[in-house]
Structure 1
């Protein structure tokens, strides 16, 4: 899956760069998504493979914090890019004659910059807070990568602020982004069903199908993992570890 993700996303980058006809808003967002889908698994998979292949079961504390930052930062960026792509589909279908005016290159650049800055700033407190915690108990993470909540549980101090901040960022990002995508698709479906023929409806909806599939693949596994963490305490540990790797690998793949 990692090899497919790397080869596939590099192919997307190459094609978007070299093909002039693809220099439009949706492909700029696709380019950004491909970049995040290269960085996200690359920040996790090499260390995970080294655990299994070379029994390399230790990681430096600073490296662990860096890994944690990249995972959460680029996850937030990826979510924001999916919202931007939903906005592009909404404008393309509901306001096709004004698409190039509404999503001009300066507007696309500002949206892209906002998505990147949101990911950087929201996750930036995580490693700084984690570095300040005293660690006097066990230093074993029961995961294949340095996930934020796994790091929080290692501290022997009051971690309420860090826990609440992490949950707030998760809910703020996921709730707002999912809500924005749902609103976009409600408007899209309303316009699609107003089209006169079935063929026109299917053809128009077909332009959204790939984005919709990636969106579902990006949000359903982490949501499922979160709900099982909260409400089903009989699930074995290896299932959480598996799901944690799935939702970082499947969307890029």
Structure 2
């Protein structure tokens, strides 16, 4: 009896990873969203799940993502997974866990944003932070895209989307954000390189500008700041992703449909 119970427990442990995907509908498309615990990432999860998609919602600390966990508790097609952009082994492990699972859309939303501060001003750059910004904002999304490339090839839509910023793309003169701006500019270049490499495989790459979305409690009463409601921004970006064609792969487009390049 003891050996039988031991075997049953062992089998249960072995199948646990599969159970996290058991509620995915085979006839529904699948999206993976990074940085999904709050703000824009959370809204991507909310809107995609409301549309009936399977959602792999990732964030660095799922145990602290109360709103995300509550949303997942009410929707069996949402699976919450840990993902740290600095942990490349962890990224590979997550991709291996979902081996064979088609991913139609990958949304690289997670990133590091801080400032303005002295360490980001030319003349007093904090180079340890410089390295950290580039590893999170540029190398991180690249690694996730590489790891899930086989999954994208199995999907129908085959779209890799990454969120950028006007501070990086247009060089808006906002002092004290040097590390953030340059790391996002590097992400833009990486997106273009991926588009060139993957176009022949029909994997489409789009860089998205979400607009000025108040995700950190900003005062939206300041009309001159041109704030965009997170619901509107994400709805616009999802529409762009849904209609995106291979001919435009590698380009940057704003949430409202305005082409930036």
Q: TM-score, normalised to structure 1's length?
A: 0.28
Q: TM-score, normalised to structure 2's length?
A: 0.27
Larger % of strand: which? 2
Larger % of helix: which? 1
Which gives a bigger RCO, structure 1 or 2 (Cα 8 Å, sep 6+)? Answer: 1
